[in-house]
A and B are shown apart, each in its own frame.
Chain A
Amino acid sequence: MTQVAEQGTSVIGKKVLRREDPALLAGESKFVADLDVPGALNIFVLRSTAANARIKAIDTTAAKESKGVVAVYVAADLESEWAGPMPCAWPVTADMKNPPHYPLAKDTVRYVGDAVAVVVAEGAEEAADAAALIEVTYEELPAVVDLEEAAKDTHLVHESLGTNTSYVWELNPNPEALERAFSSAKYVVSERYIQQRLIPAAMEPRGVLAIPSPIGGDYTLYSATQVPHILKVMAALTLGIAETKLRVIAPSVGGGFGSKLNVYAEELLCLALSRRHRRPVRWVEERSEGGQATIHGRGQVQNIELAADENGKLLGVRVSLIADMGAYLQLVTPGVPLLGAFLYHGVYHVENYGFKAVGVFTNKTPTDAYRGAGRPEATYAIERAMDALARKVGVDPAEIRRRNLIQPEQFPYNSPAGLVFDSGDYPANFKVALDRLGYSKLREEQAQRRASGSRRHLGIGISFFVEMCGLAPSRVLASLNYSAGGWESATVRVLPTSKVQVVTGTAPHGQGHETSWAMIVADKLGVPLEDIEVLHSDTAIAPHGMDTYGSRSLSVGGTAVHLATERVLDKARKLAAHQLEVSEEDLEYSSGVFSVKGVPGKVMPLAGVAFEAFTAHNLPDGMEPNLEASVSWDPPNFTFPYGTHLAVVEVDEETGKVELLRYLSIDDCGNQINPLIVEGQIHGGIVQGIAQALYEEAVYDRDGNLLNPSLADYLVPSAAEMPSFELGQTVTPSPTNPLGVKGIGEAGTIASTPAIMNAIVDALSHLGVTNIEMPASPERVWRAIQDAVAS
């Protein structure tokens, strides 16, 4: 960098309205299901109705004769299409068991929803009608449903493996010291928590459209995906298509939350069938089908132990959990527990740490990353356990936290799990939150209510979270055996007419990157926002990218945009200096114009520089034409957003009903680019976490049937159940990236589940209630009260 002073237009930190909105609000945006391609075939995927069964026979005769049907295929018919099995990119241990997984089940079905046949027809309804005529004969086997039972290997999901355990992954830097911490502790709490399975339920069901080019053997794959770049690589490998012949486009995508961070059977089927039939092939998921066929989240049985001294100060944290893989390993299934593995001590300083995860197969829909992925589970365990410790020590839950918080002077904090927390002032954030809530006053009100014998109990729940996001430093990913990097790429080009094109490798599906990335560029270049166009989610336009998940897009992708813009400006300065016949040091840049210091009127606007770069008539020696720069940025560390979330609930002892009276959060995500978007992410995240606490669970019966795959049965909360939220912030910029940003996409979900559950248990603690399983339905709460009172 030169010493030239640069002044941005300071749009950073302003609530700029989203440019994505007008088209979405007018109904003009195109989702995959909206794409109408003449001559497209439609497919229907017939799914297993048995959880664990041998396929004895499949009779497709009637289906093949059904109106509009072009073909009906079972696994054996399509074997020649696959160059390899469906990908799992995260072999977490060298001996991890990963049974081959193909788009259609061959001899054995392993979950209700496993694909057994595919009908190809002219129309979608014709395909569905024909599928109803297929007769499959199953020989049912005992279903492996319960996690702890699965670990005992009584019945097997994959017989050839001889076990249901996929892997055991441990992190225990100093086992003897950890043991000593527990044996010398004054207090030990041992808690067992269930992370129920959740259905991500993005509002847009998945959809796929594969189009073979009439010439050249190319394919274009449209998919409702968060990961067009990863999908391109994986689909090319799986289908044996040269990567150069495959273009993947994610058009408007209606939410993901991790459920579209995958490589799915239907994406591969559509591509394979478009290759076979030389016609476009299309599939749109039905919601109830998606409940079975799209990945689930969570699914863990957690055991967490805390050791503490006589003052309640933590001496050790020890975690052992079983994680539900479901029937197969999808893209990052086994890695999800690892994303939490380093964070089970939360925001608290502790020297001794141990973690162990056992991944087991069950006869259920595969699990994978769901908003927060591993970090909500970790935060839940430590925050619930801290409340348990507070009860044991006999101090207020706020006080037990104060005594254990990592202090500001400890940053950068070398965590006992081996991470380096980048920055933070936890006590300050905590104090702001408690003060703003009126914590002490609420405690007084709670005491008064209890004294008055009220049967409507007040509860205050604290959750103080820290997460690691900004996935991810590639070297760290290598140490965790992840099969890809964590960098992000960006290209910024100033066109001859001075319009600016920004190409990003991120793949937004509701996060507003087009707006935020334009703000980053506008700030640096001093050009109007309207002159900047952000392009993404098309591998022909944005060839390099690692896509959008794990709250990575701003801190990694936004930083790449920032750095590419700087590089463009550096080149522009060199060119301007050459044209104005001054040295670069004599130039200053403001509001899109280079001017020579002390020489009024001697100026060159960026537009002029861009045109000169285009004509290339008079460039400095050695300078290439065009004003463009590309950057691939690999972050040196994760970022560590944190914050205090507080819930106030009222629990009706008569009915067990929980009413959420207030919810307040003070989040610290570092610098904010667009606070409007930050707040929106927090709101939505909070509700998704509350939903786990109070409403949602993918319920299986003993035979492995998913009882609630539809939105009629799976309780995604509506506006009527939710309150408005009180948000605040502290700002501790991250030193990890030049923007000082951390990430906010998952924070609300990570934090809110334990806040709610702690509040409910807090409300009922004087009755002897110490735990309630999620979702805390009125029945569960009522039973917990009865059990506590009875004992």
Chain B
Amino acid sequence: MEANPRSTGRLPAAFLTPGSSSFMDFLGDHSPDLLPGKRVLPPLQGAVEAPHGTTIVATTFPGGVVLAGDRRATMGNMIAQRDIEKVFPADEYSAVGIAGTAGLAVEMVKLFQLELEHFEKVEGVQLSLEGKANRLSTMIRSNLGMAMQGLAVVPLFAGYDIDREKGRIFSYDVTGGRSEEHGYAATGSGSIFARGAMKKLYREDLTEQQATTLVIQALYDAADDDSATGGPDVARRIYPIVTVITDEGYRRLTEAETSEIARSILEGRLTQPDGPRAALL
């Protein structure tokens, strides 16, 4: 059937059939070819070269959660893009950051945003944060075939839980396995280094300002040791994307705000290249 029902005049029956509030279910019934997971892959020899997004970090603070990502996409040992955006709002109270195959990830996020919006419009209420996290899980699982050919997408999902009144972070693996992270989390190639940095810097009583500084510190450390992660690019004015979600909803820090934090971190690193030191005992 046509994606554009205007060519057939009236709305096709599938549009008027009462049923699921899920856009993915509707797409699966009506035009399955548009679903990323339903595509038949040609037999492949070896890995596919495509841009990969790298490091995403998140941390909670009392009253919300911060999700941030660096700006680099790599293809093999080449930098494919310097200013890619890998952190997106999922809806008003949640955001998703993606590491892995950039093209597939962006499509997945687009569908995920629509899935949440569609549910909200049809049902009149938002999905619970757990419900949103589970939908994302389903989407990653449907990409398993691609993931096994090296085109994995591994997101980090962060949101403000209105019922529990706190920020929460969910991490995923390629099979769609979902686990809630407490305090901080990272995904992507630089995640090992970022997680190490956050482990030493994280405290439970961070303010929003401190939490945003923490994630940029962690991204700096990731870029320091992982060639695929990009650090703050002062010359080109490319800074990490930092988003904050609180009970007031999603907010992306302006370039002025992130550049200020990034510059003060750079300033500190001029005297202490390894960043702030944690106490030994």
* Co-complex (A, B): no
Interface residues of B, Cβ cutoff 8 Å to A: none
Interface residues of A, Cβ cutoff 8 Å to B: none
